[in-house]
Amino acid sequence: MLELQHISFEAETDDGVHKILRDVSLTIDERMVVITGPNGSGKSTLAKIIAGIETPTEGTILLDGENITHLSITERAHKGISFAFQQPVRFKGITVFDLISIASGKKLTVSEACNYLSEVGLCARDYVNREVNGSLSGGELKRIEIATMLARGTKISIFDEPEAGIDLWSFNNLIKVFEQMYATIHGSILIISHQERILENADKIVVLADGEIRAVGDKDEIMPELMNASGICSRLVDRV
Amino acid sequence: MAMDLIQKRLLREVADLHDVPAGAYNIRADGQLAGRNTTANIDIVTKTDKPGIDIIVKPGTKNESMHIPVIIEKSGLQDLVYNDFFIGEDCDVTIVAGCGINNCGTQESRHDGVHSFFVGKNSRVRYIEKHYGEGDGRGTNVMNPTTIVELGEGGYMEMETTQIKGIDSTIRNTTAKLADGAQLIIKEKIMTHGTQYAETNFTVDLDGEDSSTNVISRSVAREDSRQMFNSNIRGNNRCAGHSECDAIIMDNASVGARPEITANSVEASLIHEAAIGKIAGDQLVKLMTLGLTEKEAEEQIVNGFLK
Ligand SMILES: Nc1ncnc2c1ncn2[C@@H]1O[C@H](COP(=O)(O)OP(=O)(O)OP(=O)(O)O)[C@@H](O)[C@H]1O
Ligand SMILES: [Mg+2]
């Protein structure tokens, strides 16, 4: 179980201090939790704070009751947190196989690496020896990023907009990948998404707007409100 | 020919050789000939006017390889050697050269090799050169390789040079002249550390119509080491030239790149790309989220970059 308690995050910019997250408290214990909300509302920042990439200005993060607020990225990775980036990183010279091996934390055979790639719909033989560099398309990189998450197999898996750039065929499979992931790992999957189809599969939906949690609930509670998009927007307008 | 263990290890490092190679070879150890083999198509002759050898490859020689390693174990040895490769027409050969120095003394050991390649019409040559130094003394290892390439009409040469650690000072000079339709690919990999200095100078003259070259340099400079990359590609005809210098800089190191392209023909198309920078922060972060420490992540990135 992952618990965020009163998380705030401020960033210094040229025009002063920016409050990006304000007093965010959240428990993630369900099979699949989805965070949604407008662009710039602080979703990726929250994910980075969980992974240890950003340090919160205030607040505490507990993983299975242990305070991990001050642990490094590496230590959190070892404790069981994985994070698929919104924008996957490119590497010159590091192959898809290398990356999946590193993610798995053990010496992988090529056929094991290929299995992970096949699960995300990539024809493994074509990809396993390719470099994770600019020659891969955006959608391919996103899928490789997801394959590394499968190889990690940790109790908390965070996906930042996994559907971005993924075509329709893959989109159906993406949902299956999450279901299968849960079936084998039994961990919690935290997904940042704007996609109705992904929201529909959530056990819990969190709506973030302007750095604050606006609503938390199951899909039956949240979806109708979201569909009536003016709901969030009008509240945003209220703030201004 | 009897080799000691150190010589065998140096040979393995510079030529991937575990023992005496198959095919043609010429092994030079501590300034002396330590072994030679010629084949029906490849002749090796000792020069009479200066130290070095002539390697003569008969026209039409296909799929043959030759190994020309140099190993130095004596601290303080200053070795200068001229190797001339005469490759006939329509050949397809692989040449593996390299220099390994084991300097356990306190003096400077030095190897300056001048390698000239005269590549005949429509011949293909793959040239692999590795430089490796080791030692537990305070003697410095110096290597200054010079490579001169003349590619005949339709000739093709791919040159791969690697220098990973161990060499304290190196100035590498490569000059090439290309005839019609000739193509030259150069791939250079360098890693320096400590207080090492590495300088590379490439001058390529694209004289022939439809000649082309691609010079790719990847390097990593760590600790207090310094590197300098100079290249000049001159397009003297309808031709295509591309050079690319990509360097990772770490610690207190310093890297310079002075790329020059000169077009002496309106039909010349020349491009240079150069990038020097530290390891990208998001690359480190990504590998750390996969469980590596910062140090391990750095190693992975550098190894991949130089692979
Ligand atoms: N280190 C930082 N310094 C300054 N501003 C930052 C920093 N990190 C994030 N921000 C700002 O915080 C806000 C939230 O960014 P974040 O990337 O978390 O949004 P998001 O909800 O993921 O948006 P999107 O849906 O577009 O991905 C943005 O306005 C962004 O510009
Ligand atoms: Mg985002």
Other C-beta atoms closer than 10 Å to the C-beta of A184 total 9
Residue B297 maps to a domain: no
Strands of the sheet with B268-277, listed across from one edge: B32-37, B24-29, B62-72, B92-102, B124-134, B156-164, B183-192, B211-221, B239-249, B268-277
AA letter at A45: T
Residue B292 maps to a domain: no
Q: What percent of chain A has pLDDT over 70?
A: 94
Q: Quick one: pLDDT at residue B103?
A: 72
Residue B295 maps to a domain: no
Residue B124 maps to a domain: yes
Query: What number is the average pLDDT over the span A94-120?
Result: 92
Residues of A with CB under 8 A from a CB of B: 51, 53, 72-74, 77-78, 81-83, 85, 88-89, 91-95, 98-99, 102-103, 105, 131, 148, 152
Tens of pLDDT along B99-147? 888 777 778 888 888 999 999 999 999 999 888 887 766 678 888 899 9
Closest CA to A86 of B81, B285, B218, B106: B285
Query: What number is the average pLDDT over the span A71-75?
Result: 98
Residue B301 maps to a domain: no
Q: Is the pLDDT of residue A41 over 70?
A: yes
Closest CA to A68 of A30, A56, A231: A56
User: Closest chain B residue to A158 measured between Cα atoms?
Assistant: B289
Q: Quick one: pLDDT at residue A100?
A: 96
CB B142 within 8 A of CB B107: no
Q: Which of the residues B289, B305, B306 would you substitute to probe the A interface, choosing the one with the greatest number of A C-beta atoms within 10 Å?
A: B289
A42 alpha carbon – ligand 1 mean position (Å): 5
Query: What number is the average pLDDT over the span A168-172?
Result: 71
The structure tokens 């893959």 sit at A170
Question: Ligand 1 atom 6: the closest Cα is on which residue?
Answer: A11
Q: Which of the residues B216, B246, B273, B290 would you substitute to probe the A interface, choosing the one with the greatest number of A C-beta atoms within 10 Å?
A: B290
Taking an 8 Å cut-off on Cβ atoms, the answer to whether B288 and A73 are in contact is yes
Tens of pLDDT along A172-228? 788 888 988 888 888 999 999 998 889 999 999 999 999 999 999 998 888 888 776
Chain A residue numbers with beta carbons less than 8 Å from the beta carbon of B287 are 102
Q: Is the pLDDT of residue A51 over 70?
A: yes
- The total of structural domains in chain B comes to 1
| A44, A50, A53, best to mutate for ligand 1 pocket (most atoms within 8 Å of CB) | A44
Atom of ligand 1 nearest to the CA of A20: 12
- The tokens for B286 are 């990504």
Ligand closest to A42 (CA) is 1
Q: Is the pLDDT of residue A128 over 50?
A: yes
Tens of pLDDT along B26-59? 998 888 888 999 999 999 999 999 999 999 999 9
Strands (E), A2-85: 2-13, 16-28, 32-36, 58-63, 66-67, 81-84
Tens of pLDDT along B194-212? 899 999 999 999 999 999 9
Q: Is the pLDDT of residue A169 over 70?
A: no
Residue B298 maps to a domain: no
Tens of pLDDT along A75-105? 999 999 999 999 999 999 899 999 999 999 9
Q: Quick one: pLDDT at residue B184?
A: 98
Residue B305 maps to a domain: no
Tens of pLDDT along A221-232? 888 887 765 445
Contacts with A65 (C-beta within 8 Å, 6 or more apart), sequence order: A1
The mean pLDDT value of chain B amounts to 91
Q: Quick one: pLDDT at residue B130?
A: 84
Is the ipTM value over 0.90, yes or no? yes
Q: Quick one: pLDDT at residue B20?
A: 60
Q: Quick one: pLDDT at residue B2?
A: 61
Q: Quick one: pLDDT at residue A235?
A: 47
Tens of pLDDT along B245-269? 999 999 999 999 999 999 999 999 9
Distance separating alpha carbons of residues A154 and B206, to the nearest angstrom? 56
- Which is it for strands A58-63 and A66-67: parallel, antiparallel or unpaired? antiparallel
Question: Ligand 1 atom 3: the closest Cα is on which residue?
Answer: A11
Q: Quick one: pLDDT at residue A237?
A: 42
Residue B150 maps to a domain: yes
Tens of pLDDT along A11-33? 988 888 999 999 999 999 999 99
Question: Which range marks the domain in which residue B84 is found?
Answer: 5-280
